[in-house]
Amino acid sequence: MSADLAQEIDQWWERLDDDLCPLEATPEFEHDALRSHDLFDTYRVRMTSLDRYIIAAWLSVPKGDGPFPAAMYTPTYMSVVNPAPYEFRIRAITMNVISRGQRGADRPYAAAFPGHLTVGIDDPDRYIFRGVVADTIRAWEVLRNHPQVDTDRMAMIGTDLALLVNARRADAKAVHVTGSFWYRMKEIAAGTEAYPFEEINDHLRMWPNQEEAVARTLAHFDPQYQAERITARVLLNRDQASPTGNDAWFAPLASRLATGPTFLDMTHRGQTDYDAMDAWLSNELGMPAYPRSWTPQDLGAWSV
């Protein structure tokens, strides 16, 4: 990356902060009795984000006085956002961010799937994900300021969007990156026909003259260029058989992370992998692990 682009990216992030910080979040917490439980309370949260856009979140707080460890689930690339898994909600304060465009924060902007990923993508200042990143930072601030959160035991779970948040707000102790999304996105898109990355290919087929502009915009969101600012311990899902998940793939990011990442080698058995992630994150947050798998799993001829 050229020095000019690096400087442009740094300035872009500074401007994002400059635009977001003066806006008060003024969160509103509405208790949701239906989604609460003997072991935790659930709240629907509304708050003000960049451009005075009203975003939302699910907040779950264990019964008791706290302080509790806390985890934020960064927005997924879906219209629907659910509360966090039960097994997390009974142990920690959890927040699931509903960013602009997603159900619950879809006025005035309702995201289309596919389509959301390329709205304004030829200009980093107009790109919809400038707002989505700001929304996620804003939600993190609201979570951090919750009176029952133990601010020494906070984590994020999600795509590498979580790394971008940690680069701007250094309080997370641990980040579990469930998969590459912004990291080397254009390269991922070039090697797949699967959505959502295919949205990038669709866009460039339609507007091939934007190739350079799109690459420039995506560089603003690539966590490898923010890696020196990341302070959390990072868990990355690794798959040596995958060209977008092996050591060579992660090298540009891993080599720049101050703490060096921990790798979770995927077995592709989802619950086994989930339990390994939970063990790592629970250890980081100083809370007991809560594996979801059960026995028996070997059913002889029934199982593969």
Interface residues toward another protein, by CB under 8 A: 33-35, 37, 78-80, 82-83, 85-87, 103, 110, 112-114, 193-195, 198, 202-203, 205-206, 241-243, 267-272, 274, 291-299, 302-304
3-state secondary structure of 162: helix
Nearer to another protein, 145 or 297 (CB): 297
Nearer to another protein, 3 or 34 (CB): 34
**Edge-to-edge strand list for the sheet holding 174-177:** 28-31, 40-48, 54-62, 93-98, 68-73, 149-158, 174-177, 233-238, 262-265
Nearer to another protein, 47 or 81 (CB): 81
Q: Is omega for the bond preceding 291 within 30 degrees of 0, making it cis? A: no
Q: How far is the CB of 157 from another protein (least distance, A)?
A: 16
Q: How far is the CB of 79 from another protein (least distance, A)?
A: 6
Nearer to another protein, 3 or 301 (CB): 301
Query: Which residues are 150's β-sheet partners?
Result: none
Nearer to another protein, 108 or 147 (CB): 108
Residue 205 to residue 183: CA distance in whole angstroms? 22
Backbone dihedral angles phi then psi of residue 151, each to the nearest 5 degrees: -70, -10
Question: For residues 61 and 93, is the Cβ–Cβ distance under 8 A?
Answer: yes
Q: How far is the CB of 147 from another protein (least distance, A)?
A: 26
Q: How far is the CB of 257 from another protein (least distance, A)?
A: 26
Question: For residues 111 and 102, is the Cβ–Cβ distance under 8 A?
Answer: yes
Question: For residues 256 and 227, is the Cβ–Cβ distance under 8 A?
Answer: yes
Q: How far is the CB of 211 from another protein (least distance, A)?
A: 16
Distance of CA 135 to the CA centre of its chain: 11
Q: How far is the CB of 83 from another protein (least distance, A)?
A: 7
Nearer to another protein, 99 or 224 (CB): 99
